[in-house]
Each structure stands twice: as C-alpha cells, then as structure tokens.
C-alpha cells in the first residue's frame, strides 16, 4: 500500500507532533512517581517460615461479632491439644512448677505501660511479663490525622496484628517445618508446636539519666544491659538459662521475642560495676504485644535547617502530606492547620555534658533539653513554600552567638500529646537521628518569617543594633509592598481577561506575571544575610555588602580576613546594600548577601508582557554581581542563591529539574504552534 503524499506543511506538522510525543514519553518515564520513599517496615509483619499456614490479618479485619462461636472453638482446640506436649517458650522447656507467682523482688510489667527506676553501679533489677499480658488485649493505637503522614516519617500509628489460634482442621494438613536457617534463638516449631498460640513481645528501654565520670575523662558512662529468660526468674550477668545480653545503644535497647505456650517472660536490667563515677542511672522499660513502646529511628530526620542568626534558628519539617492527598480530601488542609503540631524538637548544645550515651533516648534528650537554660521552641503548622503543603515550623530562640548545636526531631506519643502516654502503642516517644547547626557570629543578621506581603520570606536579614523583630518585619515588608503598588497599576492596563488570540502570551497570563514579579521583588529588596567575617572567601555567591559602615557595636570590619582591600570600599558592589534604604534606616554594618537566583529574573521576563520592558543582565560581570544561579558549581551542598520558596540544596536541585523540564515542554509547545501557523 502506498502512503499518501504529504504537503510540506503537513510534513513539518507530523515531524513536530512525533518529536513532541517522544519527549512526552521520556518525560513520563522520569517523573517523580517512579520513585518512592524508603519506609521502615513493620516488625510485626515479618515473614516467618515457622508459621507457613497461619494467616496474620490486621486487627481491623478481624470479625469480633460471634463471641459464643469463638469461645466454643477455643474450648474444642484446648481439649484437642491436651496431652500433646508441654509448651516451650524462648530457651529451654518451662516446667509447670515454674509457672506461677514471681518472687516479691520481681516487678510485673503491663502491656505498653512504662516503669521507671534508679539503678546503682553493679545493680541488677528484675521484671516479669506474665502470660496473661502476653495474650491479653492490645493497646490503644491512637487515631486521627497523623495517619496521613508520608512514608518518610515512618509509620507512627502501627496497626496491631491479630493473634489467631490455628484451626483444628489444619492439624492434619501441617507439614514438618524445615530446619531453621535464620539463626533464630528459639527452637523450630514441629508439627505439634505449630498448634501452639504464639505472640511477639516487644521489649524496649530508655536511659533517662546516667552517671558522670570523674576526673579528666570526657567519655560517657558505660551502657546498661538487658537480659531475657523464660526459665530463670532473675536473668542477669552470669545467670543460667539466660539469653546473651542486649547492650543499650546510646541509651536505647530493643528486642523482639516470640512467646509461645503458657510461660512468662523474665527480664533483667543490669548496670556495669564501675568506679570513679558520680551519680546513678535512671531508666524506663516497657513491654508490648503491639509494637515498640520506645523507638529510635536510624534514619535522617524529616526536618531541615532553613537559617540561623546569632540567637535563633528556623527549622521546618518535610511536607506532612502531599498535593494528591489535599486534592482528594478538601478538608485535609484545614485539619492540619487546626491540629496541634505533632513533632517536638530537642535542641542541645554540642558540648553538653551527658549527651553522649543518650542520643537515642526520648527521655534522656528531654531531660538534657529541659536543662538547656533559656532555649525555647515555638511550634506551628505552616503552608508556605514547597507547594503550599502543610508542614511544621520550629522557631528556636534563646541560643548563644557562634555556638554549635544538635537538633533532634522526635514524636512525643501515639495520640500526638506532649508527653509519654501509658497504655498507647509507641507511647514512649520516637527519636530520629540529629543534624547540627551553628549560630551566626557577627550579630547583625536576624530571622524574620510569616510576613503579610512577602509571605515566602523566611530567613535572616540585615539587622541593626536597635532593630526589634517587628521593626524589621514592618520595614522590609512595607517597602516591598509599596514598590509593588506601582507595578500593579501598570498591570491593570494590560488586557488580561480577553480571548486567547488577544492575549500577550499563550503560555503565561497576568496571574503568572503578578506572582513572579512579587517573588522577584521580595528577593531583591529583602536580602538574605550571612556573617561578613566568618563566611568562606571561596564562596562567590556570598557577596560582601556595606563594608564602609561599622558594625552596630561600633567596631570596624577587618577587610584582610575576607580578601578585600581598602579600595574596595568605594566599589558600588561592596560599599552599599542592593537596596540603599537598608544602610540609612537599619544600619546593619558589613554583611554578606546570598544573591537572588537569576532564574527569578528569567521567569519574570517570560511571564510579563514585553511592553513592561523587563530584562535581565546579559554581561557576565554584571550578572555575577547581581544574581546567583541554581547551577553554581561552587555551592556544592550549600544554597547557591536565594530563591524564595526553596530552603535547602535538595529542594533547589528539585526546583532546577522542574525549571528545566518546564522550559523543555514550553519549547515543544512553541514549535508545534509555529508549525501550525506556517
């Protein structure tokens, strides 16, 4: 069959459409939907080849309606299993003579109920988790909006696994279990043992206080140790029928043991026998049949540093939900905005005595943070930046100038309250791995945020000696708003609400122009401030400003420390601020500015009518003194430029990819349109 002959116009159109479709296919294969966050797997849902025929359903899937039928089945099973074997639990066979009341110095533990105790060096204390608790009712998992958190935060509300007895009809269908190849500490279940009721027991503990070592030693006190047994009621160092000890790791111990039969679980907590130390240990321990009561997540925290000044820092969490969830649930945004912030942030000076040894302990970090005098954390739910999706903001105040700190994000309890919740699954608190930050040293930068007009501004700005926070917000925000007013009058002269054929652009509109102008205006009139003396001279995206003025305390800058000469004081780039009223009204003295991103200027030119005559610097020297770039190779892991709405390098990289993708798609669209017009 012969293909029809195409005209030149039809040939060009077919080629453009084919190219466009190919680019769309490539773009779709690289979309973010092809990636996923790594989430912590639920320990209660691990595959176990010792239970090949048991269906582990979720608690919400269990039918609790016919209690009479369930009781009858339970009686029939117990009758059928009588005399088959003596049940085993943990290590060794548990004789009937050992099942019963524990010794008086053994403390009974309840499901999801923490117990706290002081411990002297060389002392061991004992606990028992009785069979009635092991196969008792589950704890309270909590409920509410926290279930919509993305996987990157981990599962904060674990659903309980239902414990089901094996049906009697399944006994004849069971096959012999193969030899255990997993290194389990427990015996392999045979045909008869598979009929035994089993349950996972989660044992967790936190060190809340620890002794301080005497003398010149800066090392932390040794860690506590956890011992388990199903035979010996007092497991501990040197005790028989005891599993190997589980050492606390930075104040946190965790283990999951499988319980079967009618026995109890015995636990010992032992302190090392040390000398040359002052004080004692204080710890909390809890057992649960649902999940870990205390948790320490060996992953990076779900929050990042936005900026610091000399006495405060601004930290923001990752998005608490995503755009798709907001689109599918119209009330979800309002729910988050009215919900108390779910996370806590522990801020601890890096040189704090006693920090080593409790970095994974919720109560240990809580005690250290409480003793850090003057530090306060104000929490709020915000929606600015990164898609205007709800996230939590931590405004930390009361810090010291030029000091290094650790920030530990934590989740306080399963129901979102501020303290440990007894009886709740995960009620003991969750701790993520920390990140460090250092406050600024010069004292002439101050963080401002939540501005009425420039709502995306949330960073340190040049500040004077007598400038209050409210004065700074009013000065910067009001100036930007006043400058915007004249632009809005000009935009009103543009035919915005008209037919597509009469519009100034087929890809942008007046709303885009207004938004991009506001973003650009706020970025160039509200400079992002960094230390003048401490900034590394090899960072070209941090430009010295106002070097001819003294610091607010009256001292003059040392230009030699930043590779500047006296003749630089007359340079318009260095001698004044980008926005001159800053030098006359705020009088911040010398500082460095993180330059605005040149991409903001490009977006402004593309979005607004050509009649407004916006343009960006084309000469390299002029552009380098006026703007930074998202592609600056010298930035490495730092922000290369100030792009409002992007607060960390990872976000800047994502925004760069979004920008490049947007340019590619617009180019394809323009090629198609031009082909149709030819």
Secondary structure of 411-438 in the HEC alphabet?
ECCCCCCCCCCCCECCCCCEEEECEEEE
Q: What is the pLDDT of residue 469?
A: 93
How many angstroms separate the most distant Cα atoms in the chain?
99
The last residue of a domain, from among 291, 312, 341:
291
Residue with tokens 């608690």: 59
Query: 360-369, pLDDT tens digit by residue?
Result: 999 999 999 8
Q: Of 116-125, 348-357, 648-657, give the lowest mean pLDDT range.
A: 648-657
**Residue 635 located in a structural domain:** yes
For the ranges 181-195, 329-343, 591-605, the lowest mean pLDDT is seen at 181-195
Mean per-residue pLDDT over the chain, rounded: 76
Q: Is the pLDDT of residue 41 over 60?
A: no
Residues 6+ apart with CB under 8 A from 167: 73
pLDDT score of 406 more than 90:
yes
In a domain, 528, yes or no: yes
The CATH number of residue 71's host domain is 2.60.120.380
Share of the chain above pLDDT 70, in %: 67
> Is the predicted pLDDT of residue 250 greater than 90, yes or no?
yes
Q: Are 651 and 462 in contact (CB under 8 A)?
A: no
- Whether 311 shows a pLDDT value over 50: the answer reads yes
Distances from the Cα of 124 to the Cα of 105, 221, 531, angstroms: 11, 17, 52
For 462, the 3-state DSSP assignment is: strand
CB 448 within 8 A of CB 472: yes
Who wins on pLDDT, 276 or 523? 523
Stretch 246-265: mean pLDDT:
92
Q: How confident is the model at residue 502 (pLDDT cuts 50, 70, 90)?
A: confident
pLDDT given for residue 276 in this prediction = 85
Residue 383 within a domain: no
* pLDDT over threshold 50, residue 485: yes
Looking at the structure of the chain, the number of domains it has is 2
Would you say 284 and 114 are in contact if contact means Cβ atoms under 8 Å apart? Answer: yes
| pLDDT category of residue 620 using cuts at 50, 70 and 90 | confident
Domain boundary among 239, 258, 291: 291
Instruction: Print the domain residue range for 115.
Output: 43-174+183-291
**576-615 burial, b for 16+ CB within 10 Å, e for fewer?**
bbbbeebbeebbbbbbbbbbbbbbbbbbbebbbbeebebe
| Contacts of residue 546, Cβ cutoff 8 Å, sequence gap at least 6 | 462, 575, 576, 577, 582, 583, 588, 589, 590, 591
For residue 266, name the pLDDT band (cuts at 50, 70, 90).
Answer: very high
Whether 79 shows a pLDDT value over 60: the answer reads no
Q: For residue 604, name the pLDDT band (cuts at 50, 70, 90).
A: very high
Residue-level pLDDT at 564: 75
- Stretch among 159-173, 273-287, 312-326, 460-474 having the lowest mean pLDDT: 159-173
Spatial CA neighbour of 647 closest among 187, 322, 304: 304
Supply 528's token pair. 């992002």
Does 568 score more than 50 pLDDT? yes
- The more confidently predicted of residues 378 and 633 is 378
pLDDT of residue 51: 35
Q: Residue 321's pLDDT is what? A: 82
pLDDT band at 187 (very low <50, low <70, confident <90, very high): very low
Among 238, 267, 291, identify where a domain stops. 291
Question: For tokens 């309840």, what's the residue?
Answer: 110
pLDDT, average across residues 538-542: 70
Q: Is the residue at 460 inside a domain?
A: yes
Which residue did the predictor score with more confidence, 171 or 230?
A: 230
12 pLDDT band, cuts 50/70/90, is low
Q: What is the mean pLDDT of residues 586-595?
A: 93
Q: Which residues of 496-532 are buried (b: 16+ CB within 10 A; e: fewer)?
A: eeeeeeebbeeebbbebbbebbbbbbbbbbbbbbbbb
pLDDT the model gives residue 163: 34
Q: Cα separation of 138 and 123, whole Å?
A: 32
| Residue bearing tokens 């706290």 | 116
478 pLDDT band, cuts 50/70/90, is very high
Lowest mean pLDDT among 177-186, 454-463, 551-560: 177-186
Burial class (CB in 10 A: 0-12, 13-18, 19+), 439: buried
Consecutive H or E run containing 308: strand 303-308
Q: Note the pLDDT of residue 413.
A: 59
* Cα–Cα dist 513/507, whole Å: 11
Mean pLDDT over 140-154 rounds to 63
Residue 296 lies in a domain: no
pLDDT, mean of residues 390-414: 90
Percent pLDDT > 90 in the chain is 43
- What pLDDT score was predicted for residue 182? 32
438 forms beta bridges with 404
Q: Does residue 350 lie within any of the structural domains?
A: no
Count the residues in the chain.
678
Least confident of 152-166, 479-493, 638-652: 152-166
With CA atoms as reference, report the closest residue to 207 among 272, 130, 127, 142.
272
**pTM score:** 0.74
How much is the average pLDDT of 244-273? 93
Angle made by CA atoms 285, 288, 290, in degrees to the nearest 5:
145
218 is written with which tokens?
């800066």
3-state secondary structure 138-191: CCECCCCHHHHCCHHHCCCCCCCECCCCCCHHHHHHCCCCCCCCCCCCCCCCCC
Three-state SS sequence of 30-74:
CCHHHCCCCCCCCHHHCCCCCCCCCCCCEHHHCCCCCHHHHHHHH
Whether the per-residue pLDDT at 172 is higher than 80: the answer is no
Ranges 26-40, 99-113, 204-218, 562-576: which has the least confidence: 26-40
Structural domain includes residue 57: yes
3-state secondary structure of 284: strand
Distance CA 210, CA 214 (A): 13
Dihedral Cα 448, 449, 450, 452, nearest 10 deg: 40
């Amino acid at each position: 069959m012969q293909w029809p002959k195409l005209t030149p116009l039809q040939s060009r159109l077919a080629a453009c459409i084919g190219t466009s479709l190919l680019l769309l296919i490539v773009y779709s294969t690289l979309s973010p939907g092809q990636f996923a966050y790594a989430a912590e797997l639920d320990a209660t849902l691990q595959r176990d080849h010792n239970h090949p025929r048991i269906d582990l359903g979720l608690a919400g899937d269990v039918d609790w309606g016919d209690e009479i039928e369930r009781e009858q089945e339970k009686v029939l099973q117990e009758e059928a299993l009588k005399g088959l074997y003596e049940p085993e639990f943990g290590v060794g066979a548990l004789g009937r003579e050992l099942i019963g009341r524990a010794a008086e110095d053994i403390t009974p533990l309840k499901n999801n109920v923490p117990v706290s105790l002081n411990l002297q060096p060389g002392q061991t204390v004992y606990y028992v988790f009785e069979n009635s608790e092991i196969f008792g009712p589950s704890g309270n998992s909590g409920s509410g909006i926290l279930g919509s958190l993305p996987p990157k935060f981990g599962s904060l509300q674990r659903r309980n696994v239902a414990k089901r007895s094996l049906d009697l009809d399944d006994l004849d269908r069971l096959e012999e279990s193969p030899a255990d190849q997993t290194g389990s500490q427990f015996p392999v279940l045979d045909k008869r043992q598979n009929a035994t009721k089993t349950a996972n027991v989660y044992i967790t503990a936190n060190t809340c206080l620890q002794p301080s070592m005497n003398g010149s030693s800066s090392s932390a006190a040794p860690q506590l140790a956890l011992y388990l047994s199903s035979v010996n009621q007092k497991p501990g160092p040197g005790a028989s029928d005891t599993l190997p000890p589980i050492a606390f790791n930075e104040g946190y111990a965790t283990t999951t043991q499988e319980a079967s039969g009618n026995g109890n679980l015995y636990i010992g907590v032992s302190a090392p026998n040390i000398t040359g130390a002052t004080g004692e240990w204080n710890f909390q321990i809890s057992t649960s049949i649902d999940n870990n009561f205390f948790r320490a997540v060996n992953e990076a925290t779900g929050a990042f540093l936005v900026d610091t000044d000399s006495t405060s820092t601004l930290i923001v969490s990752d998005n608490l939900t995503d755009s798709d969830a907001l689109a599918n649930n119209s009330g979800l945004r309002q729910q988050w905005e009215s919900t108390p912030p779910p996370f806590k942030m522990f801020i601890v000076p890096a040189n704090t005595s006693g920090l080593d040894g409790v970095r994974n302990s919720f109560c240990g970090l809580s005690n250290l943070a409480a003793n850090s005098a003057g530090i306060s954390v104000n929490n709020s739910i915000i929606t600015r930046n990164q898609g205007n999706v709800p996230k939590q903001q931590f405004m930390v105040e009361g810090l010291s100038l030029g000091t290094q700190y650790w920030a530990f994000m934590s989740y306080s309890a399963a129901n979102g309250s501020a303290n440990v919740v007894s009886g709740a699954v995960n009620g003991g608190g969750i701790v993520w791995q920390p990140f460090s930050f250092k406050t600024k040293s010069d004292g002439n930068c101050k963080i401002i945020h939540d501005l009425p007009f420039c709502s995306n501004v949330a960073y340190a700005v040049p500040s004077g000696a007598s400038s209050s926070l409210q004065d700074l917000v009013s000065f910067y925000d009001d100036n930007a708003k006043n400058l915007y007013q004249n632009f809005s009058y000009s935009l009103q002269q543009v035919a915005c609400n008209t037919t597509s054929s009469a519009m100034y652009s087929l890809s942008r509109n007046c709303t885009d122009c207004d938004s991009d102008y506001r973003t650009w205006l706020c970025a160039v009139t509200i400079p992002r401030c960094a230390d003048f003396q401490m900034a590394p001279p090899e960072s070209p995206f941090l430009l010295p400003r106002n070097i001819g003025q003294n610091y607010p305390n009256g001292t003059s800058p040392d230009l030699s420390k930043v590779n500047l000469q006296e003749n630089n004081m007359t340079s318009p780039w260095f001698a004044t601020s980008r926005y001159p009223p800053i030098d006359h009204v705020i009088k911040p003295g010398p500082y460095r500015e993180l330059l605005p991103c040149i991409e903001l200027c490009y977006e402004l030119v593309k979005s607004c009518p050509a009649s407004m005559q916006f343009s960006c610097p084309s000469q390299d020297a002029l552009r380098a003194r006026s703007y930074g770039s998202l592609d600056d190779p010298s930035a490495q892991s730092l922000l290369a430029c100030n792009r409002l709405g992007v607060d960390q390098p990872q976000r800047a990289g994502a925004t760069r990819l979004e920008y490049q993708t947007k340019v590619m798609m617009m180019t394809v669209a323009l090629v198609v349109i031009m082909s149709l017009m030819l």
